[in-house]
A = this chain, B = another copy of it.
Amino acid sequence: MENKDSVTVVVFSGELDKALAAFNIANTAASMGMKVSMFFTFWGLSVIERNKSGKGKKDTLQWMMSKMNRGGAPKLKLSKMNMMGMGKRSMKSLMKKYKMPSLEEMISLAKEQGVEFVACTTSIALMGLDESDFIDEVDRFAGASTYLGLASEGNINLFI
């Protein structure tokens, strides 16, 4: 049954600006009464990673990958103009000035509004991560078939 008011967002990118765009669309859609699911995959997993040090016993390669890709919403960078943090700080400062929510606040707001967070199991293995590396807000761990099932329910399906 197609529900026109159903939205999915694949969050592939792990950059602050793209994550802000994804959550702005998701939260606005949810506030309009649409059903919204976000599917975090590849670098996008870093948006919903716990902000902790990468400890634990891992295969050397996985450890390396998880070090390289140390995530968590507060650590994301801009896709451009990051300039060693200067562009990012400018943007965060302007967001505060205009009383826009931060990414962390947007994540909380999404959950309050019932946005579903799905973390891609295939990417989690590939990135050398496991389920304990993610924030509690994740609703389920699943693969591409789950995503496609959700996407087939509506007509707003974005890859960011």
Point out the residues of chain B lying under 8 angstroms from A135, CB to CB. Answer: none
- CB < 8 Å neighbour of A2 from B4, B34, B61: B4
Residue A47 at the chain B interface, CB threshold 8 Å: no
Q: How many copies does the complex hold?
A: 3
Contact A43 B80 (CB under 8 A): yes
Contact B25 A144 (CB under 8 A): yes
For the complex, give the distance between the alpha carbons of A151 and B156 in Å: 6
How many A residues, CB 8 Å from partner? Answer: 58
- CB < 8 Å neighbour of A62 from B12, B94, B125: B94
Which A residues are closer than 8 A to B by beta carbons?
2, 4-5, 7, 10, 12, 14, 17-18, 21, 24-25, 28-29, 31-32, 34, 41-43, 59, 61-62, 64-65, 68-69, 79-81, 83, 87, 90-91, 93-95, 97-98, 100, 122, 125-126, 128, 143-145, 147-148, 151-152, 154-160
